[in-house]
Structure 1
């Protein structure tokens, strides 16, 4: 559990609610289902319209990374790669073939298979870097749906405000209906700006940070595999990989 994310969103929402109370307002006045429906429904609709279905699905699935980030395997990969290096140095690259069934990560398995197949170090790096770039581009595109939501939400909030004011203008002759319309108008703006700056945009940045960490992890592995292919000393390979963690 990423506790700082939980603390951050709790602190942000609490600060707004406490500020409302300090100013003499009521928290209940910020609860407007109509405004919520307009802003959140309209924002999701706009994001769905701009995004291909696979990208949208991936972006939704990645949401859990905000609170439960993917496990970092830097240390395990360094240990594993150092072990492969020592084995290859003593018994040759083909001896690493016995390790393949134990590897669950497709990227790691592909890299090790290329190494076993005797691919030249430079070509090994090129092939794996292309895959890293393609994977990172796909994941960043999915993460950007939340950045897009952060751009649309304030505008949809303004739309909700205008709708509320239209409702007010239609009922000028009936003062009893003016309060509800004005409330929807202003609360819709709060929902739009608040959701964009407290939820959607921070989520996008957090997901981008996790993607960058995963890319660094894969680049570290590539560096280690290329070192094995070049016949570098296992200690040198391990030391170079540890530089990524530092």
Structure 2
């Protein structure tokens, strides 16, 4: 299940706020107007999307805003809960047989876990299950990389178009050298496009691309755990052994937290024997 990731909008907002505060501190409220130039915005944004349209196909361009949206969400997949799920599946498979796991599918939301369980129920060999599910991981990585490349290219092109806007401004400025009073203001406007391009690249596009890459890495990591869990259930591993095996993927803090939760659960059962 996906949830909103507030760190991305907070980070972008914080970055723009710090820039705005620096401008206000140095130039005052009225000085903010000097940093707003419509022509510069048109050059950077228009040139940027023109380059992207040349670089990518239509269906790839359609992914741009969808991929950007992914940076504002996160997958709420907790590893301790995932481990408990596979321990429960393992216990039921050993008690009632592997075919009984079909009844568990209604309670499972993750389609990757569902697929793994179905493959196990179908009686496929562990090596075959591993190959099929790893092939899906590879395909997922390729899809993510393809979508992420549009954002990465936007981060590469934005500063270049900022520089192009600056060159255009300098050319216009040099063409009006007969009026020295215009040199300072024209030079400032010429540099604004570089500012726009650099800020877009380093505060929006490149950080988002990096975050998307990290999310892909986390998703691959979780799916590798799922594969280990499915194969453990299919091969009839002892639930305690499977739990120890999957717990190896947890960080130190997560292991301590899980052990504490298990201890509380055991004490609760001891205090209420009718629930056991």
Provide the TM-score with structure 2 as the length reference. 0.80
| Counterpart position of 1:156 | 161
Residue of 223, 236, 239 corresponding to 2:228: 223
Match of 2:22 among 19, 22, 27: 19
What corresponds to 1:113 in structure 2?
118
Q: 2:228–2:246: 8 Å Cα contact kept in structure 1?
A: yes
Aligned CA distance change for structure 1 residues 108 and 48 (closer, same or farther; 3 Å): farther
Partner of residue 217 from structure 2, selected from 212, 232, 235: 212
Task: Report deviation, 1:165.
Answer: 1.9
1:44 corresponds to 2:49: yes
Match of 1:130 in 2: 135
- Distance of 1:153 and 1:176 partners within structure 2: 31
Larger Rg: 2
How much has 1:75 moved relative to structure 2? 3.8
Q: Which moved more, 1:92-101 or 1:143-152?
A: 92-101
Structure 2 unpaired stretches of 5+:
252-276
C-alpha displacement of 1:17: 2.3
Distance 1:64 1:244 in 2: 29
Aligned position for 1:94: 99
Distance 1:27-1:212 versus aligned 2 partners, 3 A rule: same
Partner of 2:248: 243
Deviation at 1:118, TM superposition (A): 0.9
* C-alpha spacing 1:84/1:59, structure 2 compared with 1 (3 Å): farther
The alpha-carbon deviation at position 177 of structure 1 amounts to 6.5
Does the Cα contact within 8 Å between 1:73 and 1:217 map onto a contact in 2? no
Q: Relative to structure 1, is the Cα distance of residues 53 and 80 closer, same or farther in structure 2, using a 3 angstrom cutoff?
A: farther
**Are the equivalent residues in 2 in contact too, given 1:157–1:193 (CA < 8 A)?**
yes
Q: Residue in 2 aligned with 1:9?
A: 12
> What secondary structure is seen at the aligned counterpart in 1 of 2:222?
helix
* Equivalent residue number for residue 62 of structure 2: 57
CA distance in 1, matches of 2:159, 2:181: 28
TM-score w.r.t. the length of structure 1 is 0.89
Q: Does residue 194 of the first structure (1) align with residue 199 of the second (2)?
A: yes
| Corresponding residue for residue 233 of structure 1 | 238
Deviation for aligned residue 1:226: 0.9
Return 5+ residue gaps in structure 1 as ranges: none
Contact map agreement 1:221 1:241 (CA 8 A) in 2:
no
Distance 1:179 1:198, change over 3 A: same
Is the contact between residue 160 and residue 184 of structure 1 (CA under 8 Å) also seen in structure 2?
A: no
Conserved in 2, the CA contact under 8 Å of 1:42 and 1:156?
yes
SS at match of 2:27: coil
1:168 to 173, 179, 184: 173
* Whole-angstrom distance in 1 between the partners of 2:113 and 2:24: 54
On the 8 A contact 1:35/1:188 being kept in 2, the answer is yes
Count of equivalent residues: 246
